[in-house]
Amino acid sequence: MNVRRLMATATVMASIATLAACGGGGSDGGSGGQVQLSLVAYSTPQAAYEKIIQAFQATPEGKNVTFTKSFGASGDQSRAVEAGLKADIVAFSLEPDMTRLVKKGLVAEDWSTGEHKGMITDSVVVIATRKGNPKNLKTWDDLIKPGVEVITPNPFTSGGARWNVMAGYGAKSNKGADKQAGVGYLNSLFAKVPVQDDSARKSLQTFSSGKGDAILAYENEAIFAQQNNQPLDYTVPDSTILIENPVAVTKNSAHPNEAKAFLKFLYTTEAQKIFADNGYRPVVKGVQGVSFPAPPALFTIADLGGWSKVTTEFFDPKGSVMADVERKLGVSIEK
């Protein structure tokens, strides 16, 4: 582990944290002082969390709570907290970034034992293209055709990229039944990637600037882009992976009661509706006015052996499927 890099990341994240303040008295025993919580999250749900925080601050539990907020690549954010970045609530793209903090003693081991197993939103990996889909890119095989460039982030920094990798691998290997076919596909796919940014949001910016013919992305990122008048279309492949995004309160939170109140609020229909409005699939049932397509061959990370197995097999920088893929391409795999 590169400790110097981790501390540098923590310093950068702390310096860019933004303060969202609200007025009123305090929640510390009625003393009149405000409580400040620190939210450290991956990049893509930033707009949703901004609105959810405002909604929480309008409740009795949240009226005296202010927030600092840091958003970035999921792996970088997790490592920054591990290195010392203050956090009361952590929200990541994928479970291994939470597991890192459990091993460090910063998140409780039972964080995933609730009704929703610690997951706050779902999504799926989609294929997004230029408006009108001029190259008719709708399937995994379409992405490796001659003359096609695909944008996806670096899987050694971005949680979104890891979901993309496992979506393509799972689809082309028949959920791991034909590993050779899946690995062969990943080599062909990443040979089509001209640039690998460190986060899903940066990859979307790269694609929006005109680079690439298609981008592998969270469904919610494609919806976000459309909501912001970016000229793209997207296709949900018949075979794709269910993305599950974890959230937890840290064990060393200075204000655990307020942090737990915010976590509880995230599972309300009000907050889940805000997530849905920003393109995320709710984990809570009964959110009105929300409908997402159901891919006929949807699979989960559990179908591929679970994150513990997948992380070692695919994303170990010392030797793994993606380490081999990236080294052949001369792409950095330093965490």
pLDDT single digits (tens) 266-297: 999 999 999 999 999 999 998 988 889 999 99
Which of 25-29, 260-264, 324-328 comes out lowest in average pLDDT? 25-29
pLDDT mean over 73-81: 93
Whole-angstrom CA distances from 235 to 171, 199, 224 are: 15, 21, 14
Q: Of the ranges 22-31, 98-107, 203-212, 298-307, which one carries the lowest mean pLDDT score?
A: 22-31
Q: How many CB atoms lie within 10 A of CB 19?
A: 9
254 vs 177: CA distance, rounded Å = 47
DSSP 66-123: EEEEEEE-HHHHHHHHHHT---SEEE-SSHHHHHHHHHTTSB-TTTT-STTTTEEEEE
**CA 214/CA 193 separation, integer angstroms:** 10
Q: Which one-letter DSSP state was computed for residue 194?
A: S
User: Which residues neighbour 256 within 8 Å (Cβ) at sequence distance 6 or greater?
Assistant: 88, 249
- Tell me the CB-side half-sphere exposure of residue 217, using CA atoms within 13 A: 34
Mean pLDDT, rounded, for 172-197: 97
Stated pTM of the model: 0.85
- List pLDDT tens digits, range 15-35: 444 433 333 333 343 345 799
**pLDDT at 288 (0 to 100):** 87
- In DSSP notation, 303-329 reads GGT-HHHHHHHHH-TTS-HHHHHHHHH
Q: In one letter, which amino acid is 331?
A: V
Strand segments (E) across the chain: 18-20, 35-42, 65-72, 89-91, 119-130, 150-151, 214-218, 232-235, 242-249, 281-282
Considering only CA atoms, which of 230, 241, 248 is closest in space to residue 163? Answer: 241
Is the alpha carbon torsion for 261, 262, 267, 272 positive or negative? Answer: positive
Specify which of 143-152, 192-201, 221-230 reaches the highest per-range mean pLDDT: 143-152
332 is written with which tokens?
Answer: 């950095």
Are 162 and 169 in contact by the 8 Å Cβ rule? The answer is no
Looking at residues 240-266, what average pLDDT do you find? 97
pLDDT score, position 335: 60
Q: How far is CA 102 from CA 70, 96, 111, 285, in A?
A: 20, 10, 9, 28
pLDDT single digits (tens) 304-317 = 999 999 999 999 99
- Mean pLDDT calculated for residue range 326-331: 95
